[in-house]
Amino acid sequence: MMRIYYLLILFTLCYRLPSTWAADSAFPDENIHINADRMNQSMTDGVYTAEGNVVVLWKGMNLAADKIRYEEATHMLYATGSVVMTKESNILKGDTLTLDLDTDRAEMDSARLTSPETGMNISAEKLIRINESEYKATSTEMTTCDIPDPSWKFGADKLNVNLLGYATGRNVIFYVKDLPVLYLPWIAFPVVLEKRSGLLFPQIGYSKSRGMQLDLPFYWVISPSQDLQFDLDLLSKRGIGTGIDYRYIRKRGSEGRISAYSIYDQLDNRWRWQLNQEHKEIFSREANLRMAVNANSDRSFLSDFGAKSGEYNRQSSETVVNVLKTWQNYAVNSYLRYSEDLYATDNRSTLQTLPAISMSGVRQQFFSLPLYFDVDATAENLYRKTGTTGQRLHVFPRLTLLPDTGNYLNVSLFTGAHVRGYTTDRRDSSGGIQASGGDVLPEAGLRLSTSLTRIYDTNHQLLKKIRHEIVPEISYNFVPERDQKRLPLYDYVDRFIHRNMISLSVTSLINGKFFPGDTAEYRDISRIKLSADYAIEGGRRDLLTLVESQRSWSDLTLESDTWLTKLLRLTFDSRYNLYEKNLSTAVVGVEANDRQGNLIGAGYQMSRNKVEYFEGRISTRMIKPLNLSYTGRYSFDRGDFLESVYAAEYRHKCWSVNLAVQQRPGNQSYTVNFNLAGLGSK
């Protein structure tokens, strides 16, 4: 009797085995695996049903539901009750699901799509999944904020979404919370984290000189190595401006950028424009070409419109083309340079180099002797509309003696000659003709230096060792006196100053061995250099030294960098007049930066009887979710601020807004910029 009882129990257990085993063994498609509490199969019409904690695995997709039904004849799968379909990182949730296993097409009611990679959340009354990345939604809302209560969202009757590209829709309304604030008849924007073409969020601003401003940018990814941004700049006082910014990358690290801006200025009734171009072409490790073009339609363009590019206070504009070829010991550089002095009345007297070629040879030893040879040479065609023009050749060969004095004294002695040759093409401003000719001017010098080093052990837990090095140096330079007035005057190369001068300096270097953790870290602590020149006879060319030329001693110069902590740096540079007993120039700066977005810095600059101003800057992220910053420059000699810039950014998880106020003499501007996370990022 007991044996029959055990057989009945065994039969009952076998009959109620979980359906996982039965599903995997009986389902007609071996690529589909189903786990469920209960599962039935109809042999007459080929319909499979599963209920209770249903999980379907198919082609990397995971489908969970309360109940599913599969029709073998049509390859259609129907799911109801808390439906969740996951493929890679994309999650689709809804009440009901219809899935065609042949085409991967799926339809879901009361659906919500979440894509963590893009941050996109889409809710819809009906959502159609065309394939892994393409969706169509009706009566839909889209946002990158957390749901169900997003800070902003787009609502549309119909929306087409490509998770690898764009979202497009018609009759779109932009909501802040549940308040409609903007209607768009059509919209298209990228919905991926990678660079994608599309509209960027507009920038709104106001300037006293330009009026109300609305900047509408469009970003176009031409290829993985090229992109372009087009700007439509609407200015109420000046007109409609257009700008482009094109970037590209080429082989071997070659790259470039072209940007341009043009506007018909309604205030001046003329076209005004700016063109900037940068290009680097790497032919090989030994040869390259670099080009920089900076051109403006007129001399006041930057002061009127340069705020857009950040170049409103430039003093000059240069176009330079440079080709460099190097060998083991030599380098040849050919270039042309066209300059425009924006502070001059016109550009007629500005010197242009069109073109020039230079050659440099590094030190090369003569046999095994401590004697070395190097040379610099330049040939230039110098041109300007008013003044002396012509050609100039300057060659400076040098011999340097480096005797072996052991490890205690470094000695170098050099002698060379400046060889200059000229041809003059036209009259100068005084009307006299400069004769062609040349000149040979010798130069010699001596340098002596040594290094005194000592290492100190400390008992500090963080700072274990301090290394202190003192480097005294004395040098001598001699250039004989020579009347050079018969030579053309282009720049300082044409007027070497008679020098018979001794230079003295001592440098103190302190660095430490720190242990902020388990490994050692070496950091600079202090660098201080004290220097002065003594002219036995002759003069000096030092624009920062205000000592009268007949005085022997130059200013006493102090340069220092001190890192009070890893985050706090103090700089101090000054020149002290030994005769008048006062500071000629002073530059003081202090900056604390925690590398977390919190920074405070201040600087003071003074040149006696010429310039004196104070600069301060501060930024902080401590008042979350605000990022605040201020930069100001105050001129003591003018008694007014040169510039004040206030900026505030409110950063939410899925959006941010930037407000900036810029105050400059004669002009004040305001800009507002909105950013929606995940949309239209360049």
**Range picked from 126-130, 397-401, 671-675 for highest mean pLDDT:** 397-401
pLDDT, position 195: 60
Give the residue-averaged pLDDT of 20-38. 61
Quickly tell me which residue has 């282009």 as its tokens.
Answer: 490
Which region among 414-418, 434-438, 455-459 has the lowest average model confidence (pLDDT)?
434-438
pLDDT digits (tens, 9 = 90+) for 579-630: 888 888 999 999 999 988 899 999 999 987 778 899 999 999 988 889 999 9
Which region among 107-111, 178-182, 376-380 has the lowest average model confidence (pLDDT)?
178-182
pLDDT, position 218: 85
Radius of gyration of the chain measured on its C-alpha atoms: 38
Question: What is the residue-wise DSSP string for 454-494?
Answer: EEEE---SSEEEEEEEEEEEEEEEEE-----TTS--SSGGG
What is the pLDDT confidence band of residue 544, given thresholds at 50, 70 and 90? low
pLDDT, position 19: 36
pLDDT, position 13: 38
424 pLDDT above the threshold of 50: yes
Sign of CA dihedral 129, 135, 136, 141: positive
403 pLDDT above the threshold of 70: yes
4 pLDDT above the threshold of 80: no
Give the residue-averaged pLDDT of 180-186. 83
226 pLDDT above the threshold of 70: yes
Q: What is the mean pLDDT of the chain?
A: 85
CB 465 within 8 A of CB 512: yes
What is the pLDDT confidence band of residue 566, given thresholds at 50, 70 and 90? confident
Name the pTM for this structure: 0.71
Q: What percent of the chain has pLDDT over 70?
A: 89
The pair of structure tokens assigned to 463 is: 């700072």
Question: Higher confidence at residue 14 or residue 580?
Answer: 580
Beta bridge partners of 600: 592, 618
326 pLDDT above the threshold of 90: yes
The pair of structure tokens assigned to 677 is: 């996370």
Give the residue-averaged pLDDT of 220-249. 91
Q: Which amino acid is at 652?
A: H
pLDDT, position 316: 83
| Alpha carbon 303 to its chain's center | 24
Which region among 403-407, 414-418, 640-644 has the lowest average model confidence (pLDDT)?
403-407
pLDDT, position 18: 37
d(CA 655, CA 650): 8
d(CA 226, CA 219): 11
Question: Higher confidence at residue 146 or residue 51?
Answer: 51
The residues, ordered by sequence, that sit 6+ positions from 141 with a Cβ below 8 Å of its Cβ are 122, 123, 124, 153, 154, 155, 156
Give the residue-averaged pLDDT of 118-141. 84
pLDDT digits (tens, 9 = 90+) for 268-304: 999 999 999 999 999 999 999 999 999 989 888 888 8
What is the pLDDT confidence band of residue 22, given thresholds at 50, 70 and 90? very low
45 pLDDT above the threshold of 70: yes
234 pLDDT above the threshold of 60: yes
Q: What percent of the chain has pLDDT over 90?
A: 41
pLDDT, position 122: 85
Which region among 193-202, 441-450, 469-478, 664-673 has the lowest average model confidence (pLDDT)?
193-202
338 pLDDT above the threshold of 70: yes
d(CA 497, CA 543): 14
Give the residue-averaged pLDDT of 396-424. 92
CB 127 within 8 A of CB 151: no
pLDDT digits (tens, 9 = 90+) for 663-682: 888 778 888 887 777 665 55
Number of CB atoms found within 10 A of residue 666's CB? 7
11 pLDDT above the threshold of 50: no
Give the residue-averaged pLDDT of 382-387. 89
pLDDT, position 435: 62
Quickly list H helices, 426-584: none
d(CA 161, CA 168): 7
* 3-state class percentages of the chain: helix first, strand second, coil last, to nearest 5: 5, 65, 30
pLDDT, position 437: 85
What is the pLDDT confidence band of residue 1, given thresholds at 50, 70 and 90? very low
Give the residue-averaged pLDDT of 104-125. 84
Question: Higher confidence at residue 301 or residue 393?
Answer: 393
d(CA 235, CA 34): 63
Q: Which helix (H) or strand (E) holds 20?
A: helix 19-26
310 pLDDT above the threshold of 80: no
The residues, ordered by sequence, that sit 6+ positions from 95 with a Cβ below 8 Å of its Cβ are 80, 81, 83, 108, 109, 110
